[in-house]
Amino acid sequence: MTVDLSKVPQMTQTPAQHDERMQWFRDAKFGMFIHWGPCSVGKREIGWGRNARRPWDIGIPDPSDDTHDAEYDNYYKVFNPERYDADAWARFAKESGMTYMVLITKHHDGFSQFDTKLSDYSIMATPYGRDIVKPFVEACHKHGLKAGLYYSTRDWYHPDYLVGDNKAYDEWYRGQVEELLTNYGKVDMMWFDHVGGRDWGKWKFDELFAMMYRCQPELLVNNRAARFCGPTTPEDQGPESPEFEHMTLGDFYTPEGKIGAMDIENDWESCIHVGQGWSYRGEDGFKGPEDCIKMLASCTTGGGNLLLNFGPRPDGTFTDGEAAVARAMGEWLNQYGEAVYGTRGGPLQNGDWGGSCHKGNKVFLHVYEWTQDTLELPPLPHQVLAARTLEDKPVTFTQDEARLAVSVADTDRDTPVTVIKLTLDAAIEPGCLTGQAPAEQEADARVVGPPPGQD
């Protein structure tokens, strides 16, 4: 039986439909990622901190290891986040300038943070005994945030994972994804996190995508639903067709732990943790607010989003270190949001000095380093009529065929970023990019929106 993929946008959408679907994501710029669960009790890294076998995956702790880690796998018995308050989380994210949130519903450790009929290893078996996901999605929407759910297909706990033809596991996890996309109202984003097993024949991604879009027609999906599928051996099956593979790459790609290289053609989102790991690892070792603000500016100017990760304490509260970063970013965005939300990356190539983004006939230069007193940049495609910093300080500017030169008095520069707003005599055209790309750009798994051949 062939699967009906006619409702799956990655298979059928035109470039215009794709642009329309991606609009909120492109405008959103800044989201909160939350890694949290029983592992937080032991300050152990979520998934990876579990010392047990990792079927078909790298980094196996010890081949003679058990399938279980007695300590890690029992944290759920004492996981009781009495202070979990989804409404407070969403208010906090909003005050910090975030426009969407993504919550771990099940990580590689196999623990379900939701009321699933398909497993007993879930939040319902903890002393807390209540669904974490439901209040989360409700609170996001109540506060005008988009709600995303992270789900790790890779599962080192489930006894059927990659056993035999993997059929049992493949059906089981799709059942869980269906629960997530059926029981919680509107879900705006599904954020997968890798599969194991290099053989495409072990997974029915067509069934997965058809089901997801039956449940949630407007869903966005990241690029990891089939990530790490091979084939790597002659026995492994590959993707059925380029279109099929393209479908599994979803809507955006996900540079991890780093800022994505500038890319204004494809949608992307960098995920980076503020603390020492993805989940709660203690009360110190956090990044500073200034670095995080620069990361957001780099993503924005580079054409992507920043999904900044927080690891709440086991009781459901945020650490002081993470709260300080979030608060500082909220304050910064209160003042500089105009140069972030709803903008598009470019038209200047990012460099050591910073980068640019634009909206209509406004170009915003985010300058982090005054490499020269007068910044010399490639000329913009339109005439500059006016320039001020976002703090409304004067900017000296000239533009000719060879260059755009701007300077701001020392005392009028701001840290960590001086933002200069240029008003042009015409709007920047979509896809416009000028200047030299830095020599080294690391390739990530990129996606192209509409299916091959429709561009």
For ligand GLC, the binding residues (CB under 6 A) are 35, 46-48, 193-194, 256, 271, 278
Whichever of 193 and 199 has its CB closer to ligand GLC, that residue is 193
Coil vs helix vs strand at 355: strand
Q: At closest approach, how far in Å is the CB of 446 from ligand GLC?
A: 17
* Closer by beta carbon to ligand GLC, 280 or else 364: 280
Minimum CB distance to ligand GLC smaller for 195 or for 367: 195
∠ CA 277-278-280 to the nearest 5 degrees? 75
Q: Which of 24, 39, 236 is nearest to 140 (CA)?
A: 24
DSSP label of 117: T
Task: Tell me the closest approach of the beta carbon of residue 42 to ligand GLC, in angstroms.
Answer: 16
Find the shortest distance in angstroms from Cβ 412 to ligand GLC.
39
Minimum gap (Å) between residue 260 Cβ and ligand GLC? 13
Decide the pairing of beta strands 375-377 and 362-367.
unpaired
Q: What is the enclosing helix (H) or strand (E) of 92?
A: helix 86-95
Alpha carbons 173 and 148: distance in angstroms, whole number: 17
Is residue 234 exposed (0-12), middle (13-18) or buried (19+ Cβ within 10 Å)?
A: exposed
* Identity of the residue, 75 or 213, whose beta carbon is nearer to ligand GLC in the bound complex: 75
Closest distance to ligand GLC from the beta carbon of 161 (Å): 15
Q: How far is the CB of 82 from ligand GLC (least distance, A)?
A: 25
Quick one: 188 or 193, whose CB is closer to ligand GLC? Answer: 193
- Smallest distance from ligand GLC to CB 17, Å: 28
- Nearest Cα neighbor of 284 from 328, 326, 319, 324 is 319
Q: Are strands 384-389 and 396-399 parallel, antiparallel or unpaired?
A: unpaired
**DSSP-assigned letter for residue 273:** E
Q: Which C-beta is closer to ligand GLC: that of 102 or that of 247?
A: 102
Q: How far apart are CA 13 and CA 385, in angstroms?
A: 39
Q: What residues contact residue 77 under an 8 Å CB cut-off, 6+ apart?
A: 125, 126, 127
* Residue closer to ligand GLC (CB basis): 37 or 316: 37
Compute the least distance from the CB of residue 5 to ligand GLC, in Å. 27
Contacts of 87 (CB under 8 A, 6+ apart): 135, 139, 142, 143
Three-class secondary structure of residue 372 per DSSP? coil
Decide if 283 contacts 323 (C-beta within 8 A). Answer: no
- Distance of closest approach, residue 378 Cβ to ligand GLC, in angstroms: 34
Minimum gap (Å) between residue 59 Cβ and ligand GLC: 10
Identify which of residues 205 and 353 has a Cβ nearer to ligand GLC in the complex: 205
Task: Order the strands of the 269-273 sheet from edge to edge.
Answer: 220-221, 189-192, 146-151, 100-106, 30-34, 305-310, 269-273
In the bound state with ligand GLC, the residue whose beta carbon lies nearer, of 36 and 336, is 36
Which C-beta is closer to ligand GLC: that of 112 or that of 399? 112
> What burial letters (b/e) apply to 310-338, b meaning 16+ CB within 10 Å?
bbbbbebebbebbbebbebbbebbeebbe
